Amino acid sequence: MQKTGFQKPGQLLGGISCYYPGLVANTQQLLAQHEGAIIDINFLRSALKDHQIPAHLTRFLDSLLVSFRVSRHAQTTAREMTSVAAVALRVNHQSISSNLYSGVPDGSEGNVYMVELMLENRFRALLRYCAAQQLSAADLEWLLGSIAVEVTAPRKEITERSLVVLLFNDQGPLSLTQVRYLALQAAVMCGLRSDKPEHEELRWCIVVDFDPISPQVKGTSTDQCCSVASISARGEGGSTERIFYHLTDNLATGTHGRGTISTEDAETDLAIKNLIGSLLAHPPKTSLSQTAMIEASILRRTDRVPRPSGRLKSEPLYN
C-alpha cells in the first residue's frame, strides 16, 4: 500500500487507533515502553492454513516479511526523514487553502509548489531572527539557501489536515548541534502561547501572521495559529535513524491544545526557558549549553518537569 506524501515508495504504512477506555492506558504504556522497536511479521505464517497452497506461491508468500516500527509519530514524509533536521507544523486555520493561495502570484492558485516557495521566504525571515547572533553573515546566507518547505497535500489539495514542514536539507559549514539548535528555536517560536508580555514578540505563525484578510495584532486569539506536530533530526554519523524532540506535549489537553507551549511550560521547563532566553538575549539564572538543551529536549516533558505529589507543598523546580 502506498500513501502519497507520507513515506518512501515500497513501504507499508499501518496505523492503529484505540478508543475503548479499558485499552487506552495499556496502549499508551505499550507505546512508551517500546517506541522505536521493530516488529517483523510474516503474514503466511500468521494465517490459518485451511487449504492447500501451491509450492510456487508458498515460496512467494514466505518472502513477504514486513517490518513495523512502533511509533507515535504519524505523517512523517520521505523528505523529512532524509533531512538534517525538520520541524513539522499542524495548520489550524479555518480557511487554510484560500489563505495560502492568496499569497501566490496570479494564475498559480492550486499550485502547491508555489505555496511552498512562498512559505520558504517566510521561514527565512524567522531564521534570520533566530540565527543572526549565532552565525557569521556567510554561514547565515548559506543556511537560508539550504532550507526548503514541504506542504503535505494528499490529492494535491491543502486542507486542515495538511502539515507544513520546515526542512534543513544540508549541514554544510554548520555543526549538527547548530542545526538541531536552530530547529528547536524555530519550534519554540511556532508553538509559544505564553501570555507573559516579554514573550509577545516571540509568538510567530507562518499562516496567521501573514493573513491578508485578518492581520494578526497584539492580543489576537491564537486559536488558529499553527502548532508543533514534530521536531526531528538526523542521528550521529550520518545514520538514517531519526531523533525526535519533545518540547511540547502532543496530548490534546491544556489551555492551548497539543503542540503548544503555555505560560506554565515557559516558566517551569528549564530547556524551554533557556531556548526562550537565547531568543531574547536574556538567559535564565540556570543556563544550559546548546548541547545540554538539545539533550534535555529528547526527554518527554513529563520526565523533564516533575509533577507535585500533593502531599507536600510544591516548590518551583527552577528559580
For range 157-179, the mean pLDDT: 90
Q: Which residue has the cell 488558529?
A: 224
- Give the residue among 130, 168, 150, 30 at the shortest CA–CA distance from 78: 150
| Structure confidence by residue, pLDDT tens digits, 138-164 | 999 999 999 999 998 876 788 888 899
- Give the integer Cα–Cα distance in Å for 12 and 23: 25
Q: How far apart are CA 74 and CA 135, in angstroms?
A: 33
Instruction: Give me the pLDDT at residue 311, please.
Output: 43
Q: Is the pTM of this model over 0.85?
A: no
More confident residue, 211 or 281: 281
- Own/partner pairs, 153-156, CB within 8 angstroms, 24+ separation: 153/5, 153/112, 154/3, 154/4, 154/5, 156/110, 156/112
pLDDT in tens, 17-56: 555 666 667 776 776 666 556 677 776 665 555 567 677 7
Yes or no: say if 274 and 283 are a contact pair by the CB < 8 Å rule. Answer: yes
Is the model's pLDDT at 315 over the cut of 70?
A: no
Which residue bears the cell 486542515?
160
Say how far apart CA 206 and CA 186 lie, in whole Å. 11
Those residues with Cβ within 8 angstroms of residue 263's Cβ, 6 or more apart along the chain or in another chain: 193, 194, 195, 196
User: What is each CA distance from 202 to 70, 111, 306, in whole angstroms?
Assistant: 35, 31, 26
For residues 85 and 168, the answer to whether their CB atoms sit within 8 Å is yes
Report the distance separating Cα 134 and Cα 97, nearest Å: 35
Q: What is the pLDDT of residue 11?
A: 47
CB contact at 8 A, 160 and 91: yes
DSSP 98: H
Residue 22 CB coordination number (10 Å): 7
According to DSSP, residue 261 is labeled B
The model's pLDDT over 72-81, given as tens digits with 9 standing for 90+, comes to: 555 567 888 8
